Chain A
């Protein structure tokens, strides 16, 4: 990762063609690259080098990665996975339980945990995605609630609300290495999903998202692509859940609450639907704002959620493109000024 960044620093300035091609292949814009570089050095710059702020950075990157995966489905095939947090929970618990009971290395468990999440996602999708989108949303929610109920009730296995202690990925109390891990996971999520969007699958997604009938008429099988998309989203949710399990070191059923899904959903939308990167971009300032609110206004619990909700409503009504659209407009405006 850092090598890459150094390469960026030296080559980017001279405009090396091969490097530009590489950037294009990853789907990261020059501005995006700049942001990534800033994020890479941020943990060493005060005040960001303090542990509690590093923790915020980790949360932000985790939330951003989730928002990217979330937008892959809502932004392209117009299906809301309202049980998203539960799929993340499946990955987290699978990986955690394998580590606790079978001694599987968390580094492997993270990947193994993604499989059941994807499988449940696949089955849910198969069942509902031939119907209107709202069925998938509601059923994913029900499945999520059932999974939450299971983790709460199977106390022998999951220890229920008492919480499951899981081994951490690293043997360190510092948050900095975790930040680099989750940042890398966020970038991988972005690059892989961007690749899919750029392929003929992405074309099919968009066709389905815009006009189901027209897509069908041009020989696309909407159910196939919708199930594929949904499964991939759940796969990534499970994978990110693995990180969750082995970063926090404790799992409670709380992590599967609908409120968690709502948080991801709000960030993805405020970031800009159908942009993929928007959610990741706003996750950082948001987490900082909210953590600052939370620590300064402890007597007002829930205020940050009111802000989430209000912003979601306002964005939906008045600025449906979210931050991504705003950014695009701003860039066009600046270009207009320059060219004048």
Chain B
């Protein structure tokens, strides 16, 4: 009676409900396709999918969260990714040079994590600043056509950040050869670099922590409450401003963390955020606007789609094929593969 085990629904019930939904079928199909492709082309398909998929999940989850809780379609989400990779670059690069002079195995092992965690906090801070400086004033002025107005604001923010970065640090690529300078592991016959493995593990750990936070803590529940009924949230004593700032911070922090973790693949430069932005939006529309948990799954699905497109069709087409896929999806199931948790996708 008095424990939280009550919260759990029996697993078989959940599982059956899932497997017969559009979402369940999608997941099954994704796994099947991944296996067939892996047999056909090699296991690297799965490795690549899983590594970028984890980071796309972090990215999409944050975008979805901000839309669900704050009703902001964020077109500056990619810039959080950019800020994250910049932070990691400026933290890790001096450390790397220092370690070249003064080798220290311990420091070498944790230096990358330092950059990645710092990126999370810098991203979160930027998120809070934007909420306090920009969204909150707009909210106080008027909530008419909030979705469109906030969308335009984020477009403005994105332009400002991209070009400020360009003004400050120029347009050159700021990348690193790798985080951990050790030999790649052999995994299913695929060379798996420690950087990739670490990125994947980091994503998994973060997702678990995030899930625990949202489901099992009062603050996490409050975030979901605000998404579902703002007035109800106020009525039970939730401080709306606090939750909104927290949501923005989390969303931005996760995106920044993804940017930092992938610095060894995606170097930092002013428009580095565009691609992640596209991916995150793609995932969110594909799985259903505002559906946070589905966004996680969607991250992996889209990563697979990208891996397959670039392997079978060729690079350069990765914007074309996914668009065709999403058009088909919108024709048949506009609420997204996993349905939408937002108050409805039809215009009110």
Contact = CB atoms under 8 A, between A and B. Distances in A.
Query: So, do A and B actually touch in the complex, CB under 8 Å?
Result: yes
Interface of A: 74, 78, 80, 127-128, 130-135, 137-139, 141-143, 145-146, 148-150, 152-153, 212-213, 222, 258-259, 262, 265-266, 269, 300-303, 305-306, 308-310, 312-313, 316-318, 320
B107 interface: no
Nearest to B75: A82
A313 B134 contact: yes
Contact of B320 (A149, A222, A303): A149
Interface in B155-209: 155-160, 162-164, 166-167, 171
A295 B208 CA distance: 52
B141 interface: yes
B229 interface: no
Contact of B347 (A133, A153, A265, A310): A133
B113 interface: no
B278 interface: yes
Contacts of B137: 317-318
B320 A153 contact: yes
A132 B160 contact: no
Most buried by A among B149, B158, B159, B166: B159
A145 B155 contact: no
A127 B320 contact: no
Label chain B's interface by main secondary structure: helix
Contact of A145 (B142, B285, B323, B334): B323
Nearest to A145: B319
Interface in B213-272: 270
Contact of A142 (B160, B270, B282): B282
Interface stretch (B34-42, B45-53, B325-333): B325-333
Contact of A262 (B149, B155, B278, B289): B155
A303 B164 CA distance: 8
A16 to B, nearest CB: 42
A139 B317 CA distance: 17
Contact of A309 (B142, B147, B156): B156
B126 interface: no
Nearest to B145: A78
A320 B323 contact: no
B159 A134 contact: no
Given A134-B147, A302-B270, A317-B137, A128 B330 contact: yes
Interface in B124-160: 134, 137-138, 141-142, 145, 147-149, 151-153, 155-160
Interface of B: 73, 134, 137-138, 141-142, 145, 147-149, 151-153, 155-160, 162-164, 166-167, 171, 270, 274, 278, 281-282, 285, 289, 316-320, 322-324, 326-327, 330-331, 334, 344-348
Residues of A contacting B: mostly: helix
B164 A316 contact: no
Contacts of B322: 142
A-B residue pairs, 8 tightest by C-beta: A309-B159, A302-B163, A312-B156, A309-B160, A146-B323, A149-B319, A313-B156, A302-B166
Nearest to B136: A317
Contacts of B147: 132-134
20 contacts: A78-B145, A130-B347, A131-B345, A132-B147, A132-B348, A135-B285, A143-B323, A212-B347, A212-B348, A259-B159, A262-B159, A301-B171, A302-B270, A308-B156, A308-B159, A310-B160, A316-B138, A316-B149, A317-B134, A318-B137
B157 A313 contact: yes
Contacts of A142: 278, 281-282, 322-323, 326
Nearest to B285: A138
B166 A152 contact: no
A62 to B, nearest CB: 20
A258 B320 CA distance: 15
Contacts of A141: 281
Contacts of B282: 142
A309 B324 contact: no
Contact of A266 (B156, B326, B331, B346): B156
B167 A303 contact: yes
Given A142-B322, A312-B159, 14 more contacts: A78-B148, A132-B347, A135-B345, A146-B320, A153-B317, A213-B348, A222-B347, A300-B167, A305-B159, A309-B163, A313-B153, A316-B138, A317-B134, A317-B141
Contacts of A212: 347-348
A310 B324 CA distance: 35
A309 B158 CA distance: 8
A133 B147 CA distance: 9
B153 A306 contact: no
B151 A317 contact: no
A310 B156 contact: yes
B320 to A, nearest CB: 5
Contacts of A266: 156, 159
Given A153-B317, A309-B157, A134 B73 contact: yes
Contacts of B320: 146, 149-150, 153
A213 B344 CA distance: 14
A305 B322 CA distance: 30
